[in-house]
Amino acid sequence: MINGNFAQILQWTEAQRLGLAPDTFTIRAGRGSASPEKWHSVGRSTDVAWGLFPNRDKPPFQSSIQFDDMTMACSCNSQKSPCRHTLALLLLLAESPDVFDTAVSPPPWLTAQQKRQQQQTQRRQSAADDAAKMNLLHSGMKELDLWLRDLIRHGLADLPGRSKLYWTQMADRMIDAEAPAIAQTLRDMAAIPVKQADWPDRILRQLGRLFLIVQGFNQWNHLPPETQTDLQTAVGRLPTRFDNRPINDSWLVLGRTVTTINKRLRPTTWLWGQKHNRPARLVQEIRSWQPVSQYATGAQLNGTLQFICSSFPLTATFQVSP
């Protein structure tokens, strides 16, 4: 597990803290909410900080920060991570640490929040291993195969006369098959302007990639586990099959990117192992009430990474001690 603590967070620069924000609006809103008088019932233990942010005449927002892996959680409905409230709590923690009560026990709502996070993690892991979902994915790939062959049979010259519904219907089918990255590709193809001279080349590049993925699924039972995992990644699923070579290192946070797949934000944190001279990436998906770990650019994370099984192991997660 990451060796994170309260003292290390205090050593972050303001640029590192604000660098966690997904956009400038969150920075402005978080900065404007980082005043002690705007919070109440703020507390801190050795491994977590928490606080309540007023929500007019409704129950206050419940925000927390786990120090060991910098998981931030909030009861607001924002899909941004960190949201304005957790960013404000982080700024408040760094700039006014004395306002946090260290003598109180974590409140019941925090315990419930942490339990809910654990249950969500268990459900996601269970769903990823569910054979029925894999059958659904394979069925979707067979349907995509037929659709691609039909498209090629009619020729690219037929595409300018097609409506966007032609693409979005298959995209929706890919969502049902739990292949969100394929759905996003189809929507992107629908948005390619046919008036541009290079539109056939752009379409063909995407069609070739989709056909390659489909052929991979057609040969699924003959492929090694690493290639099977790569195919799952290509369709937008977050695999949970790990290799047996965890790597302990001092990981430098290089930066963070955020992509949108099926209208959900998917942040990726890029790391560099300084002892082993190798890259790694942490990929997460943001849903309502789902916490997302935040690591400041330039921070050092000492811990063990468990890499996803792959032909080129890159995606990883921090190993949790039993």
Instruction: List the beta strands (DSSP E) in the chain.
Output: 40-44, 48-55, 58-66, 71-74, 247-261, 264-273, 278-283, 292-293, 300-307, 316-318
Question: The domain 247-318 is classified under which CATH number: 2.60.40, 1.25.40, 2.40.50, 1.20.950?
Answer: 2.40.50
Q: Are residues 112 and 55 in contact, defined by beta-carbon separation less than 8 angstroms?
A: no
| Mean pLDDT calculated for residue range 280-307 | 76
Alpha carbons within 13 angstroms on the beta-carbon side of residue 205 total: 8
Q: Is 181:234 a contact under the CB 8 Å cutoff?
A: yes
pLDDT band at 322 (very low <50, low <70, confident <90, very high): very low
pLDDT at 66 over 70: yes
Q: How confident is the model at residue 2 (pLDDT cuts 50, 70, 90)?
A: very low
CA distance 105 to 98: 16
Extents of the domains making up the chain: 6-125, 131-234, 247-318
Task: Dump pLDDT digits (tens) for 106-135.
Answer: 999 999 988 887 777 666 666 556 678 889
User: Across all residues in the chain, what is the average pLDDT?
Assistant: 87
Per-residue pLDDT tens over the stretch 87-102: 999 999 999 999 999 9
pLDDT for the residue numbered 247? 93
pTM above 0.75, yes or no: no
Residue-level pLDDT at 1: 36
pLDDT in tens, 188-236: 998 887 778 888 999 999 999 999 999 999 999 999 999 999 999 999 8
What does DSSP assign to residue 36? G
Instruction: Summarize pLDDT for 238-271 with one digit per residue, the tens.
Output: 777 777 788 999 999 999 887 777 667 778 899 9
Q: How far apart are the first and last CA of the chain?
A: 10
